[in-house]
Amino acid sequence: MKINQVSLNNIDLSSEYHDRFLFNYRQDSNALMSSIKDVGLINPVILNKNQDTGGVYTIVCGYQRIKACQKLGYESIEAKVVEGINDGEIMLLALHDNLSSRGFNEIEKAIVLKKFLETGYSYDRLMSEIAPLLGVPPNKGIIDKYIDLLTLDTEIKKSITDDELEPEKAFLLVTLDGVERDIVWRVLFREASTNVNEAKETIRSLLDLKQIKQTGMVELLSSKEITHILSDNKSNQRQRGESVYRLIKAMRYPVISKKEDEFDNYCRELGLDNDVRVNHSRYFEGDEVRITIKAYNEEKLRISIEKLLSNIKNGTFKQIFSMFK
């Protein structure tokens, strides 16, 4: 690559295809501008000179640096210029340059995958060559889910890039329409906090309740009960999330939820510590319980087992097993 001094007026910053090799999303331009102002441009940008553009350069790497220099009043900028290679090769060059200098946030990973797909890469090539570089599982379904993240609203995408919303949770929002997506994000992930499995189950229950009650998610999640949970300043986000999860589950499965409350009350009467868990089968479809003991040494294991045996002897477990008759 040749290193030239290129006039900023000759760099395409606004045409329909000016960003076709760019992957950046919500980078901190203020910090970059401050750095360039203090020490100058350390690394030259990379430009592509296409003979069909009449001397205008397309940005390969360095869009934020160019914009910062423009704001600082630069007339020209030092640039490495590539010529005579195809779009796929330029895209690969841009990918490796970004990986070596800064890496990608989750939305930028989606942009990378989408652009390589549009350039002509097959899913097989994406899975074998590009996804591993991004730390994305080499799976077509997951790649599609990443690309679908780009359809989310700006505020939700910002929460992903700020590491406030995990991709696995964001994937759940993609399946919803705009209005439903917004309120589910706000209730389940912003004002309250549910884990991925709770969120999956809650969204499934909400979709069922839409059909059963012939009402929308907005109305369901704007109820007095939900509003009361979200406005409870004495509970933290996680506690509010668990409360919302239990409420929606109780609305969808009232009989099972009542039975679960009864089961939980019996389990509390056992007086076990948090290292011993008693669980029923999913939806009480089986007639057995599963007991899990966490022990770090033999003494801890002995105490936990003796506590269980004591509950068996005094008949406390009879109440639990009676629920399955």
Summarised one tens digit per residue, pLDDT across range 258-278 is 888 888 888 999 999 989 999
- Domain containing 72 equals 1-102
Q: What is the structure's pLDDT at 33?
A: 84
Whether residue 144 contacts residue 126, with contact meaning beta carbons closer than 8 Å, is answered with no
Q: How confident is the model at residue 27 (pLDDT cuts 50, 70, 90)?
A: low
Q: Provide, rounded to the nearest whole percent, the portion of the chain with pLDDT above 90.
A: 64
Average pLDDT of span 219-224: 95
267-314 per-position pLDDT tens digit: 999 999 989 999 988 878 888 899 999 999 999 999 999 999 999 999
Average pLDDT over residues 161-175: 94
Domain count, the chain: 4
Residues 67 and 31 in one domain: yes
- Name the domain boundary from 192, 217, 252: 252
- For the residues 67-72, what does the mean pLDDT come to? 90
pLDDT for 222 beyond 90: yes
Q: 207, exposed or middle or buried, with CB in 10 Å at 0-12, 13-18, 19+?
A: middle
Do 121 and 86 reside in the same domain of the chain? no
**pLDDT(247) > 90:** yes
Please, what is the average pLDDT of the chain? 91
Q: What is the mean pLDDT of residues 313-319?
A: 89
pLDDT digits (tens, 9 = 90+) for 197-206: 999 999 999 9
Answer yes or no: do 98 and 117 share one domain: no
- Alpha-carbon distance of 215 to 213, in angstroms, equals 5
Q: Tell me if 297 is assigned to some domain.
A: yes
CB atoms within 10 A of CB 234: 5
Q: How confident is the model at residue 87 (pLDDT cuts 50, 70, 90)?
A: confident
* In the predicted structure, residue 54 carries a pLDDT above the cut 70: no
Q: Is residue 260 part of a domain?
A: no
98 plus 110 within the same structural domain: no
Total-model pTM: 0.78
| In a shared domain, residues 1 and 97 | yes
Residue 313 burial (CB count, 10 A):
9
Are the C-beta atoms of residues 113 and 126 closer than 8 Å to each other? yes
- The reply to whether 22 and 60 lie within a common domain is yes
Residue 53: inside a domain, yes or no? yes
Q: Are residues 60 and 122 in the same domain?
A: no
Query: Is 226 inside a domain boundary?
Result: yes
Residue 38, Cβ density class (10 Å: 0-12 exposed, 13-18 middle, ≥19 buried): exposed
Are 114 and 187 part of one and the same domain? no
Residue 156 located in a structural domain:
no
Give the pLDDT confidence of 88-108 residue by residue, as tens digits.
Answer: 899 999 999 889 878 899 999
Residues 111, 141, single domain; the answer is: yes
Predicted confidence band at 52 (pLDDT cuts at 50, 70, 90)? low
278 and 316 fall within a common domain: yes
Tell whether the model's pLDDT for residue 53 goes beyond 70: no
User: Any idea what the CATH number is for the domain that residue 57 is in?
Assistant: 3.90.1530.10
Q: Is residue 325 part of a domain?
A: yes
Q: Are 245 and 198 contacting, i.e. CB atoms less than 8 angstroms apart?
A: yes
Whether 6 has a pLDDT exceeding 70, the answer reads yes
| Shared-domain flag, residues 276 and 234 | no
Assess contact for 307 and 276: CB atoms under 8 A: yes
Label residue 194 by pLDDT band (50, 70, 90): very high
* Same domain, yes or no: 221 and 295: no
